[in-house]
Amino acid sequence: MNSQRHRLGRGAVVALIAALVVACEREPSIAEITIGAEDFAFALPDTIVGGLVQFDLVNDGQEDHHAQFLRLNDGVSRAQFDSLFAVVMEAVPTEGDVAFLRLFEIATVAGGPAVISAGGRTDVAMELAAGEYILLCFIPSPDGVPHLAKGMTRWLTVTAPTDAAPEPPVAAGRVDMVDFAFTELPAMDSGRVVLEVTNSGAEPHEMAVLRLEGAPLEQVLQMLTEPPASGGAPPPGPPPFRFMGGLQAIMPGQRAWVTLDLPPGDYALICFIPSPANDGQPHAALGMVRAFTIS
Protein backbone atom coordinates (compact mmCIF):
# COMPACT_ATOMS: atom_id res chain seq x y z
CA MET A 1 0.00 0.00 0.00
CA ASN A 2 2.78 2.42 0.95
CA SER A 3 4.72 1.58 -2.22
CA GLN A 4 1.62 2.30 -4.32
CA ARG A 5 1.22 5.72 -2.71
CA HIS A 6 4.91 6.36 -3.34
CA ARG A 7 4.57 5.45 -7.01
CA LEU A 8 1.48 7.66 -7.40
CA GLY A 9 3.24 10.57 -5.70
CA ARG A 10 6.30 10.27 -7.90
CA GLY A 11 4.09 10.13 -11.00
CA ALA A 12 2.33 13.31 -9.93
CA VAL A 13 5.66 15.08 -9.49
CA VAL A 14 6.82 13.95 -12.93
CA ALA A 15 3.56 15.20 -14.48
CA LEU A 16 3.91 18.55 -12.73
CA ILE A 17 7.49 18.98 -13.96
CA ALA A 18 6.40 18.12 -17.51
CA ALA A 19 3.60 20.69 -17.34
CA LEU A 20 6.02 23.36 -16.14
CA VAL A 21 8.43 22.59 -18.97
CA VAL A 22 5.63 22.89 -21.53
CA ALA A 23 4.52 26.18 -19.99
CA CYS A 24 8.06 27.55 -20.14
CA GLU A 25 8.41 26.53 -23.78
CA ARG A 26 5.08 28.06 -24.80
CA GLU A 27 5.43 31.09 -27.06
CA PRO A 28 4.87 34.40 -25.25
CA SER A 29 1.61 36.09 -26.22
CA ILE A 30 1.03 39.67 -27.33
CA ALA A 31 -0.27 41.88 -24.52
CA GLU A 32 -3.68 43.43 -25.21
CA ILE A 33 -4.64 46.89 -23.96
CA THR A 34 -8.12 48.37 -24.36
CA ILE A 35 -8.39 52.09 -25.05
CA GLY A 36 -11.80 53.46 -24.21
CA ALA A 37 -12.75 56.55 -26.23
CA GLU A 38 -15.53 58.89 -25.14
CA ASP A 39 -16.56 62.46 -25.88
CA PHE A 40 -13.88 63.68 -24.99
CA ALA A 41 -11.46 61.45 -23.06
CA PHE A 42 -9.33 58.32 -23.26
CA ALA A 43 -9.45 55.53 -20.69
CA LEU A 44 -6.42 53.21 -20.37
CA PRO A 45 -3.76 52.37 -17.76
CA ASP A 46 -1.24 55.03 -16.77
CA THR A 47 1.70 52.65 -17.30
CA ILE A 48 2.17 49.65 -19.60
CA VAL A 49 5.02 47.34 -20.58
CA GLY A 50 6.42 48.09 -24.02
CA GLY A 51 7.49 45.86 -26.87
CA LEU A 52 4.85 44.38 -29.16
CA VAL A 53 1.42 45.40 -27.84
CA GLN A 54 -2.08 45.16 -29.30
CA PHE A 55 -4.34 48.15 -28.70
CA ASP A 56 -8.11 47.75 -29.01
CA LEU A 57 -9.82 51.13 -29.47
CA VAL A 58 -13.49 51.05 -28.44
CA ASN A 59 -15.48 54.14 -29.39
CA ASP A 60 -18.20 54.66 -26.78
CA GLY A 61 -18.74 58.27 -27.79
CA GLN A 62 -21.15 59.97 -30.17
CA GLU A 63 -18.41 61.31 -32.46
CA ASP A 64 -15.57 59.74 -34.46
CA HIS A 65 -12.33 59.16 -32.54
CA HIS A 66 -8.78 57.92 -33.03
CA ALA A 67 -5.74 57.56 -30.76
CA GLN A 68 -2.53 59.05 -32.15
CA PHE A 69 0.51 58.07 -30.06
CA LEU A 70 3.32 60.62 -29.77
CA ARG A 71 6.58 59.66 -28.04
CA LEU A 72 8.50 62.46 -26.37
CA ASN A 73 12.13 62.65 -27.43
CA ASP A 74 14.56 61.42 -24.79
CA GLY A 75 15.18 64.14 -22.22
CA VAL A 76 11.95 66.04 -23.00
CA SER A 77 9.62 66.47 -20.02
CA ARG A 78 5.85 66.51 -19.95
CA ALA A 79 5.98 70.16 -18.88
CA GLN A 80 8.08 71.04 -21.94
CA PHE A 81 5.59 69.33 -24.20
CA ASP A 82 2.64 71.06 -22.52
CA SER A 83 4.34 74.43 -23.05
CA LEU A 84 4.90 73.85 -26.77
CA PHE A 85 1.45 72.31 -27.14
CA ALA A 86 -0.14 75.51 -25.80
CA VAL A 87 1.77 77.56 -28.38
CA VAL A 88 0.69 75.21 -31.16
CA MET A 89 -2.98 75.37 -30.15
CA GLU A 90 -2.86 79.17 -30.28
CA ALA A 91 -1.51 78.96 -33.84
CA VAL A 92 -4.02 76.38 -35.17
CA PRO A 93 -6.90 78.86 -35.82
CA THR A 94 -4.73 80.89 -38.20
CA GLU A 95 -2.25 78.29 -39.52
CA GLY A 96 -4.46 75.20 -39.64
CA ASP A 97 -3.20 71.64 -39.16
CA VAL A 98 0.29 72.57 -40.35
CA ALA A 99 0.82 74.14 -36.91
CA PHE A 100 0.90 70.65 -35.40
CA LEU A 101 4.14 69.95 -37.27
CA ARG A 102 5.92 72.02 -34.60
CA LEU A 103 5.35 69.15 -32.17
CA PHE A 104 7.91 67.17 -34.19
CA GLU A 105 10.58 69.40 -32.65
CA ILE A 106 10.31 67.42 -29.41
CA ALA A 107 8.26 64.30 -30.22
CA THR A 108 7.70 61.67 -32.92
CA VAL A 109 4.54 59.91 -34.03
CA ALA A 110 4.34 56.29 -32.93
CA GLY A 111 1.15 54.88 -34.44
CA GLY A 112 -2.13 54.02 -32.77
CA PRO A 113 -5.62 52.90 -33.79
CA ALA A 114 -7.01 55.08 -36.60
CA VAL A 115 -10.39 56.74 -36.79
CA ILE A 116 -13.38 54.62 -35.91
CA SER A 117 -16.97 55.84 -36.05
CA ALA A 118 -19.25 55.96 -33.01
CA GLY A 119 -20.03 52.51 -31.64
CA GLY A 120 -17.16 50.82 -33.50
CA ARG A 121 -13.85 49.27 -32.51
CA THR A 122 -10.53 48.66 -34.22
CA ASP A 123 -7.35 46.74 -33.33
CA VAL A 124 -3.71 47.62 -33.99
CA ALA A 125 -0.57 45.78 -32.87
CA MET A 126 2.62 47.84 -32.76
CA GLU A 127 6.05 47.96 -31.16
CA LEU A 128 6.57 50.62 -28.49
CA ALA A 129 9.95 51.59 -27.10
CA ALA A 130 10.20 52.61 -23.46
CA GLY A 131 9.50 56.28 -22.87
CA GLU A 132 6.88 58.94 -22.23
CA TYR A 133 3.92 59.06 -24.63
CA ILE A 134 0.85 61.18 -25.06
CA LEU A 135 -2.34 60.06 -26.86
CA LEU A 136 -4.13 62.72 -28.89
CA CYS A 137 -7.38 62.84 -30.86
CA PHE A 138 -7.08 65.36 -33.69
CA ILE A 139 -10.61 64.77 -35.06
CA PRO A 140 -12.67 67.98 -35.16
CA SER A 141 -16.20 68.17 -33.76
CA PRO A 142 -19.01 69.60 -35.91
CA ASP A 143 -18.17 72.99 -34.37
CA GLY A 144 -14.70 72.75 -35.92
CA VAL A 145 -12.83 72.41 -32.62
CA PRO A 146 -10.43 69.43 -32.54
CA HIS A 147 -11.10 66.93 -29.77
CA LEU A 148 -7.65 67.44 -28.25
CA ALA A 149 -8.64 71.06 -27.56
CA LYS A 150 -11.60 69.68 -25.61
CA GLY A 151 -9.38 67.62 -23.34
CA MET A 152 -9.02 64.42 -25.36
CA THR A 153 -5.39 63.79 -24.45
CA ARG A 154 -3.84 61.18 -22.16
CA TRP A 155 -0.31 60.64 -20.85
CA LEU A 156 1.14 57.14 -20.90
CA THR A 157 4.40 55.76 -19.50
CA VAL A 158 5.86 52.76 -21.35
CA THR A 159 8.44 50.63 -19.56
CA ALA A 160 10.99 48.33 -21.17
CA PRO A 161 9.87 44.69 -21.60
CA THR A 162 11.57 42.07 -19.45
CA ASP A 163 10.10 38.91 -21.01
CA ALA A 164 10.90 37.29 -24.34
CA ALA A 165 9.42 39.09 -27.33
CA PRO A 166 6.27 37.49 -28.79
CA GLU A 167 5.99 36.63 -32.45
CA PRO A 168 4.19 39.28 -34.54
CA PRO A 169 0.68 38.57 -35.82
CA VAL A 170 0.36 36.40 -38.91
CA ALA A 171 -0.61 38.77 -41.72
CA ALA A 172 -2.66 37.85 -44.76
CA GLY A 173 -0.93 40.58 -46.75
CA ARG A 174 0.87 43.87 -46.45
CA VAL A 175 0.46 47.52 -47.34
CA ASP A 176 3.47 49.74 -47.94
CA MET A 177 3.15 53.50 -47.42
CA VAL A 178 5.45 55.63 -49.57
CA ASP A 179 5.62 59.29 -50.59
CA PHE A 180 2.74 59.56 -51.61
CA ALA A 181 0.86 56.31 -52.23
CA PHE A 182 -0.30 53.02 -50.74
CA THR A 183 1.27 50.05 -52.51
CA GLU A 184 1.01 46.25 -52.34
CA LEU A 185 -2.58 46.25 -51.06
CA PRO A 186 -3.79 42.63 -51.43
CA ALA A 187 -7.23 41.58 -52.64
CA MET A 188 -9.46 40.99 -49.60
CA ASP A 189 -12.73 39.21 -48.88
CA SER A 190 -15.25 40.36 -46.28
CA GLY A 191 -14.53 39.49 -42.67
CA ARG A 192 -11.51 39.80 -40.42
CA VAL A 193 -8.07 40.16 -41.97
CA VAL A 194 -4.68 41.20 -40.58
CA LEU A 195 -2.43 43.44 -42.68
CA GLU A 196 1.19 44.32 -42.00
CA VAL A 197 1.60 48.05 -42.67
CA THR A 198 5.03 49.59 -43.22
CA ASN A 199 6.26 53.12 -43.84
CA SER A 200 8.90 53.13 -46.58
CA GLY A 201 8.59 56.85 -47.24
CA ALA A 202 10.62 59.82 -46.05
CA GLU A 203 7.72 61.41 -44.14
CA PRO A 204 5.35 60.09 -41.45
CA HIS A 205 2.28 58.34 -42.88
CA GLU A 206 -1.04 56.99 -41.67
CA MET A 207 -3.63 54.61 -43.14
CA ALA A 208 -7.21 55.64 -42.43
CA VAL A 209 -9.85 53.25 -43.81
CA LEU A 210 -13.12 54.78 -45.06
CA ARG A 211 -16.25 53.06 -46.28
CA LEU A 212 -18.05 55.07 -48.97
CA GLU A 213 -21.77 55.39 -48.35
CA GLY A 214 -23.72 57.24 -51.01
CA ALA A 215 -21.13 59.58 -52.54
CA PRO A 216 -18.17 59.20 -54.92
CA LEU A 217 -14.65 59.22 -53.51
CA GLU A 218 -13.84 62.61 -55.06
CA GLN A 219 -16.71 64.27 -53.18
CA VAL A 220 -15.74 62.59 -49.90
CA LEU A 221 -12.13 63.74 -50.29
CA GLN A 222 -13.30 67.29 -50.87
CA MET A 223 -15.40 67.18 -47.72
CA LEU A 224 -12.49 65.84 -45.65
CA THR A 225 -9.63 67.98 -46.95
CA GLU A 226 -11.28 71.32 -47.67
CA PRO A 227 -13.15 73.65 -45.29
CA PRO A 228 -16.93 73.94 -45.76
CA ALA A 229 -17.90 76.45 -48.44
CA SER A 230 -19.96 78.38 -45.88
CA GLY A 231 -16.96 78.67 -43.58
CA GLY A 232 -18.98 77.09 -40.80
CA ALA A 233 -20.61 73.76 -40.09
CA PRO A 234 -20.47 70.77 -42.47
CA PRO A 235 -23.49 69.99 -44.70
CA PRO A 236 -26.59 68.75 -42.82
CA GLY A 237 -27.41 65.05 -42.61
CA PRO A 238 -25.21 62.02 -42.03
CA PRO A 239 -21.84 62.01 -43.83
CA PRO A 240 -21.60 59.81 -46.96
CA PHE A 241 -18.77 57.77 -45.45
CA ARG A 242 -17.87 55.82 -42.33
CA PHE A 243 -14.49 55.44 -40.68
CA MET A 244 -13.52 51.78 -40.24
CA GLY A 245 -10.19 51.99 -38.40
CA GLY A 246 -6.67 51.55 -39.70
CA LEU A 247 -3.34 52.89 -38.45
CA GLN A 248 -2.38 56.31 -37.14
CA ALA A 249 0.84 57.98 -38.27
CA ILE A 250 4.14 56.14 -37.89
CA MET A 251 7.67 57.30 -38.64
CA PRO A 252 9.71 56.17 -41.66
CA GLY A 253 11.01 52.64 -41.16
CA GLN A 254 8.31 51.65 -38.66
CA ARG A 255 5.64 48.97 -39.08
CA ALA A 256 2.45 47.79 -37.39
CA TRP A 257 -0.28 45.18 -37.83
CA VAL A 258 -3.85 46.28 -38.48
CA THR A 259 -6.91 44.09 -38.05
CA LEU A 260 -9.80 45.01 -40.36
CA ASP A 261 -13.31 43.56 -40.34
CA LEU A 262 -14.97 44.94 -43.46
CA PRO A 263 -18.37 44.04 -44.92
CA PRO A 264 -18.85 44.15 -48.71
CA GLY A 265 -18.66 47.65 -50.14
CA ASP A 266 -16.46 50.36 -51.62
CA TYR A 267 -13.58 51.67 -49.53
CA ALA A 268 -10.54 53.93 -49.60
CA LEU A 269 -7.23 54.19 -47.78
CA ILE A 270 -6.32 57.81 -47.05
CA CYS A 271 -3.40 59.66 -45.43
CA PHE A 272 -4.29 63.08 -44.01
CA ILE A 273 -0.84 63.95 -42.60
CA PRO A 274 0.36 67.43 -43.71
CA SER A 275 3.58 67.44 -45.73
CA PRO A 276 6.27 69.86 -44.52
CA ALA A 277 8.03 69.52 -47.89
CA ASN A 278 4.86 70.58 -49.75
CA ASP A 279 3.65 73.69 -47.93
CA GLY A 280 1.67 71.63 -45.42
CA GLN A 281 -0.63 70.06 -47.98
CA PRO A 282 -2.30 66.87 -46.71
CA HIS A 283 -0.82 63.75 -48.25
CA ALA A 284 -4.27 62.93 -49.69
CA ALA A 285 -4.02 66.07 -51.84
CA LEU A 286 -0.67 64.77 -53.10
CA GLY A 287 -2.22 61.50 -54.29
CA MET A 288 -2.02 59.34 -51.17
CA VAL A 289 -5.42 57.71 -51.68
CA ARG A 290 -6.16 54.10 -52.65
CA ALA A 291 -9.66 52.91 -53.58
CA PHE A 292 -10.60 49.25 -53.22
CA THR A 293 -13.70 47.06 -53.13
CA ILE A 294 -14.73 44.24 -50.81
CA SER A 295 -17.07 41.78 -52.54
Parent domain of 56: 31-294
| Domain assignment present for 235 | yes
| Domain assignment present for 77 | yes
Nearest-angstrom CA–CA distance, 46 and 77: 16
| Domain assignment present for 21 | no
Nearest-angstrom CA–CA distance, 95 and 83: 18
Question: Is the pLDDT confidence value at 11 over 70?
Answer: no
* Helices of type H across 96-227: 217-225
pLDDT digits (tens, 9 = 90+) for 115-135: 999 999 999 999 999 999 999
| Domain assignment present for 108 | yes
| Domain assignment present for 1 | no
Note the pLDDT of residue 13.
52
pLDDT digits (tens, 9 = 90+) for 48-72: 999 999 999 999 999 999 999 999 9
CATH code for the domain in which residue 114 is found: 2.60.40.420
Question: Is the pLDDT confidence value at 253 over 80?
Answer: yes
| Domain assignment present for 181 | yes
- Please give the tally of structural domains in the chain: 1
| Domain assignment present for 13 | no
Nearest-angstrom CA–CA distance, 229 and 250: 32
pTM of the model: 0.87
Question: Is the pLDDT confidence value at 160 over 80?
Answer: yes
Tell me the pairing of strands 51-59 and 131-136. unpaired
Residue 154 makes CB contacts below 8 A (sequence gap 6+) with 41, 42, 44, 134, 135
Question: Is the pLDDT confidence value at 2 over 80?
Answer: no
| Domain assignment present for 24 | no
Note the pLDDT of residue 5.
47
